[in-house]
Structure 1
Amino acid sequence: MTSSHRPFGLPAAVAAAVLLLASAGCSASGAPASVAVPGPPAEEAALCQALAKELPGTVAGLERSDPEPGSELTAGWGDGAIVLRCGVPRPEKMSDAKAQGVSANGVRWLLERPEGSGPRFTSVYRETYVEVSLDARFEHDAGPLADLAAPVAETVPCALEPECS
């Protein structure tokens, strides 16, 4: 009786081919991101549907690749590098007087830095909240917000008029 170190008794060449194919099939580079779909009230969902129709095909040079599950409330670019969710709940941090924010092409955003990921921005002073999560390569770059500001401004009305002008 001979001992074999090959998985499941397969010949070495077949085992190597199976392992190679399995690892290629598990590659995350072509897989769409997975995100939680928000559940806003109907009026806010209608604003998000209008926004979905105006979103660009590229953001920060990255091609559109929407996350799973597919929804008019979510969008993505660069296989999860940039993920937009529309109709999210108001972030708790928005009540913090020390919260940081940025402005991009006339749209103001709350900046949050979740542990273990890139920055997250949520629109402020709008009739629904739009959240944009960026991966670590955008740690010090809010540039993608510039590409998303015009569609947000056009489709999500200002809730506090002097703040949006």
Structure 2
Amino acid sequence: MNIFRHRRRTLAGSSVLALLVTVAGCSSADDSADVAVPTPDAKTARICRDLHEALPRKLDGRSRNDPEPRSAYTAGWGSPAIILRCGVTRPPKMIDPEVAKGEDPNAIGGDVDGVGWLMEKRDDGTWRFTTTEREAYVQLTLPKELSGQDDSARVLTGMAPGVKKAIPTGIASMN
């Protein structure tokens, strides 16, 4: 059972999202660096390939700019890039009892336009977003330039249609 099922909060436009993004700024993605390509199991790989086909050509006004090495499991938009990785392993924070109780200040579960997300504060003070209650885990990492409430909300809102279309609701495999 997903720990966020009963703890989910609707975040778009809420003060929780404002706090989350104001404090944050999301992790930077260096366009010159390679992006680690996930190695999902066969079922998750199929789902990720479906997502790859459903991804927007533009996200928050940024054109598609996929990272190297090219893969159906990664995507990028803009420069510095918003980076997507599909088929990642479940983040440890997703099973952390403090997160489930809402007691971890470095992670929160929420919902933006019908897609659940684990929002983790990283050691460098930035945030990483990972889908919840979907049959594949998808992570989004935003560059520090997209640190405002409206920026993050637009990115997560822009990603929601593709995630909802391609990734069925459910519990992802443990990969």
TM-score category of the 2 structures, normalised to the smaller one:
0.7 to 0.9
Distance 2:45 2:125 in 1: 27
Runs of 4+ in 1 over 6 A off after TM superposition: none
TM-score after normalising by structure 1: 0.73
DSSP-derived class of the 2:145 partner: helix
Aligned match of 2:40: 40
* 1:1-165 equivalence runs, <5 A: 33-96=33-96, 97=100, 98=102, 99-116=107-124, 118-141=126-149, 142-143=152-153, 144-159=155-170
Distance 2:90 2:74 in 1: 16
TM-score after normalising by structure 2: 0.69
Q: Which has the higher helix share?
A: 1
Name the structure, 1 or 2, with higher relative contact order (CA <8 Å, separation 6+). 2
Q: Percent identity?
A: 43
Distance 1:36 1:117 in 2: 21
Structure 1: 5+ residue stretches without partners = 1-30, 161-165
Structure 2: 5+ residue stretches without partners = 1-30
Equivalent AA in structure 1 for residue 163 of structure 2: V
Aligned residues: 131
State whether residues 118 and 137 of structure 1, in contact with CA within 8 Å, keep that contact through their aligned partners in structure 2: no
Query: Rg: which structure is higher?
Result: 1
